[in-house]
């Protein structure tokens, strides 16, 4: 395997005429054009004194230019430090003081004492590209080892300080090469890329895999359902988070005809409901392929390409990845028993930046990374996620796994999406409540739904209250922010207990 992942993403042998990326305006980027942009950017970074191991930070809109900035950083052995475009100044300050980048590229001018600050607008223009106009072909690809850092991604940690996950060249190589193989990606594929590139899903799982397979991408700056519908027929692959699929399904124009050239739709980053899975199949004829990963571990499991894809399961551990469900006491859970998923393999991060104690605490004594996800693994080795460890609700001494209650609620046609959380309760310790988002025209009665649920769920699992909200709080990846809901609804039972 190549040691600097850049060699895998931009192989030495290539077809100079192939359109590697087509941007939103229909402009094609072939390999020589991309390489010259990468080299021009790399030379600016080198002029700014960036040495191997130095961090290059970016809070830029998704574009071919910002993607080439990432590739330029990898090429010269720097460590890529992407930031969510939605981060507040306080969040950015925290990351900057922790990761201390040598160069920071932002859409706005910044002034930092020990960092060279450059700008890049959504169209790529700005001080970085002004400095990069000269032709600087031939920037050398710096030799890196598989254990060397390629990127630091701050986790979207819902509690406490965000942590910098140290991702190595070896992690990225494994992720891109394995997915290209198990998803059968070839140079004949074109991915309609609509995910953000500051997150592992859009960058490492989507973009890197396509580059490693010498496939093509149509690069959308963001997910826009109308744009996706108009471009789907030009693509063979689409990767999304579940909300992207529910938004596509909400559009009447989305149908099998538009999807007829697509060979693979994948879903990940958040739970995909059985209803969305079934509706997608009915509308398009395609079976969504659900896969599971996290910032710290790039990719862990996937449903198979050619075997049965089962709704609600995230599939099997990828080749070379070892997973187990562990009980609280650290022993391996029985088949189908719920436990925390632990994972070991070339996909697992090196550790958390500047947090050696936290790193040690997140690994078991035999070297498995603790995912924080509660799962059960069935007799076939299929993984079923039941929720996050910290979202487990203990009510009156009974464990309630939110996913089970959410699955029951999702079966009501009026419910577009829902979140089940535990809130303080004087008698039960925690009480189960649900917060639901309804379909536009829906008729919904919370009381009768609670009554009806008693035919499906044990009494202790049934929400004591169901609250209707216009829209559930979500992060940039479409994941429902349960911590926000827990704060908002924390006093639900404060006067009732």
Residues in the site for ligand AMP, rule: CB under 6 A?
155-156, 200, 268-271, 290, 292-295, 314, 371, 373, 385, 388, 477
Question: What pairing do the DSSP bridges indicate for beta strands 298-302 and 149-154?
Answer: unpaired
Least distance to ligand AMP, CB of residue 84, Å: 10
Distance in angstroms (rounded) separating the CA atoms of residues 497 and 483: 22
20 vs 203 by CB, closer to ligand AMP? 203
Q: How far apart are CA 414 and CA 416, in angstroms?
A: 6
Q: What span, in angstroms and rounded, lies between the C-alpha atoms of 336 and 378?
A: 5
Q: Where are the alpha helices (DSSP H) in 13-155?
A: 31-47, 64-75, 89-99, 127-131
Q: What's the closest the beta carbon of residue 497 comes to ligand AMP, in angstroms?
A: 31
Nearer to ligand AMP, 36 or 475 (CB): 475
Instruction: Report the alpha-carbon distance of residue 188 to residue 352 in Å, rounded.
Output: 38
Q: Closer to ligand AMP at the Cβ: 37 or 477?
A: 477
Residue 119's beta-bridge partner residues?
106
**Smaller CB separation from ligand AMP, 33 or 437:** 437
What is the C-alpha to C-alpha distance for residues 136 and 150, in angstroms, rounded to an integer?
Answer: 23
Cα 397 to Cα 402: distance, rounded to the nearest angstrom: 15
Locate 146 and state its tokens: 């598989």
| Smallest separation (angstroms) from ligand AMP to the CB of 164 | 13
Residue position matching structure tokens 């077809």: 15
Q: How far is the CB of 156 from ligand AMP (least distance, A)?
A: 5
CA-based radius of gyration for the chain: 23
Cβ of residue 200: shortest distance to ligand AMP, in angstroms?
A: 6
Would you say 124 or 315 has its CB closer to ligand AMP?
315
In terms of CB distance, is 40 or 295 closer to ligand AMP? 295
- Minimum Å gap between C-beta 482 and ligand AMP is 11
Between 61 and 290, CB nearer to ligand AMP: 290
Compute the distance between CA of residue 7 and CA of residue 285 in angstroms, rounded to an integer. 37
Q: Sign of the CA dihedral 159, 161, 166, 167?
A: positive
In the complex, the smallest distance separating the C-beta of residue 42 from ligand AMP, rounded to whole angstroms, is 28
Contact 383, 313 (CB under 8 A): yes
Nearer Cβ to ligand AMP, position 124 or 478?
Answer: 478
- Tell me how far, at minimum, the Cβ of 87 lies from ligand AMP, in Å: 14
Nearer to ligand AMP, 82 or 271 (CB): 271
CB of 291 to ligand AMP, least distance (A): 6
Nearest approach in angstroms of CB 293 to ligand AMP is: 6
> Is residue 120 within 8 Å of residue 107, measured between CB atoms?
yes
Residue 186 phi, psi (nearest 5): -130, 175
Whose CA is closest to 153, among 113, 202, 103, 209? 202
Nearer to ligand AMP, 88 or 443 (CB): 88
Report the residue number, 188 or 381, with the smaller CB distance to ligand AMP: 381
Least distance from ligand AMP to the Cβ atom of residue 314, Å: 5
As a whole number of angstroms, the distance between CA 334 and CA 324 comes to: 10
Rounded CA-CA distance 414/435 in Å is 13
Alpha helices in 48-158 (DSSP H): 64-75, 89-99, 127-131
Angle among Cα 136, 139, 144 to the nearest 5 degrees reads: 160
Q: What tokens appear for 361 in the block?
A: 């605490």
Residue nearer to ligand AMP on the CB measure, 136 or 156: 156
Which tokens sit at 50?
Answer: 């960036």
**Residue 204 to residue 298: CA distance in whole angstroms:** 7
User: Shortest gap between Cβ of 53 and ligand AMP (angstroms)?
Assistant: 24
Strand order in the sheet with 383-388: 322-326, 339-344, 369-377, 383-388
């Amino acid at each position: 395997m190549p040691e600097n992942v850049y060699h895998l993403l931009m192989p030495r042998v290539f077809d100079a005429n192939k359109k590697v990326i087509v941007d939103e305006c229909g402009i094609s980027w072939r390999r020589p054009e991309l390489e010259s942009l990468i080299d021009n950017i790399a030379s600016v970074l080198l002029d700014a004194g960036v040495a191997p191991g130095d961090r290059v930070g970016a809070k830029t809109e998704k574009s071919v230019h910002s993607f080439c900035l990432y590739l330029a950083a990898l090429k010269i052995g720097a460590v890529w430090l992407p930031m969510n475009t939605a981060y507040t100044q306080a969040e950015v300050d925290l990351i900057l003081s922790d990761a201390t980048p040598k160069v920071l590229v932002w859409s706005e001018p910044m002034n930092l004492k020990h960092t060279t600050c450059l700008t890049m607008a959504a169209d790529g223009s700005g001080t970085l590209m002004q400095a990069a106009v000269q032709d600087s072909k031939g920037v050398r690809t710096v030799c890196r080892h598989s254990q060397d850092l390629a990127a630091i991604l701050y986790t979207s940690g819902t509690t406490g300080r965000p942590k910098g996950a140290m991702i190595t060249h070896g992690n990225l190589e494994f992720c891109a090469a394995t997915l290209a193989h198990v998803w059968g990606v070839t140079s004949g594929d074109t991915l309609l890329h609509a995910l953000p590139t500051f997150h592992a899903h859009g960058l490492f799982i989507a973009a890197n895999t396509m580059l490693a397979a010498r496939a093509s991408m149509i690069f959308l700056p963001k997910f826009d359902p109308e744009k996706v519908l108009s471009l789907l027929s030009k693509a063979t692959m689409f990767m999304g988070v579940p909300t992207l699929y529910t938004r596509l399904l909400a559009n009447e124009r989305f149908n099998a005809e538009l999807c007829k050239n697509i060979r693979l739709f994948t879903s990940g980053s958040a739970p995909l409901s059985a209803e969305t899975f079934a509706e997608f199949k009915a509308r398009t004829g395609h079976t969504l392929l659900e896969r599971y990963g996290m910032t710290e571990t790039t990719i862990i499991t996937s449903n198979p390409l050619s075997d049965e894809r089962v709704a609600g399961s995230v599939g099997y551990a990828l080749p070379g990845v070892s997973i187990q469900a562990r009980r609280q006491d650290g022993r391996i859970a029985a088949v189908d028993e719920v436990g925390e998923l632990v994972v070991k393999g070339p996909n697992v991060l090196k550790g958390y930046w500047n947090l050696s104690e936290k790193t040690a605490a997140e690994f078991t004594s035999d070297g498995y990374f603790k995912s924080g996800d509660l799962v059960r693994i069935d007799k076939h080795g299929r993984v079923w996620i039941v929720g996050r460890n910290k979202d487990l609700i203990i009510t009156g001494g009974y464990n309630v796994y939110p996913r089970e209650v959410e699955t029951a609620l999702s079966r009501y046609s009026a419910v577009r999406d829902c979140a089940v959380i535990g809130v303080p309760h004087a008698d039960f310790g925690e009480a189960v409540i649900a917060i639901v988002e309804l379909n536009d025209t829906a008729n919904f009665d919370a009381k009768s739904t609670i009554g009806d649920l008693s035919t499906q769920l044990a009494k202790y699992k049934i929400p004591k209250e169901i609250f209707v909200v216009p829209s559930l709080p979500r992060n940039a990846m479409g994941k429902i922010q349960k911590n926000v809901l827990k704060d908002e609804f924390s006093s639900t039972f404060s006067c009732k207990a």
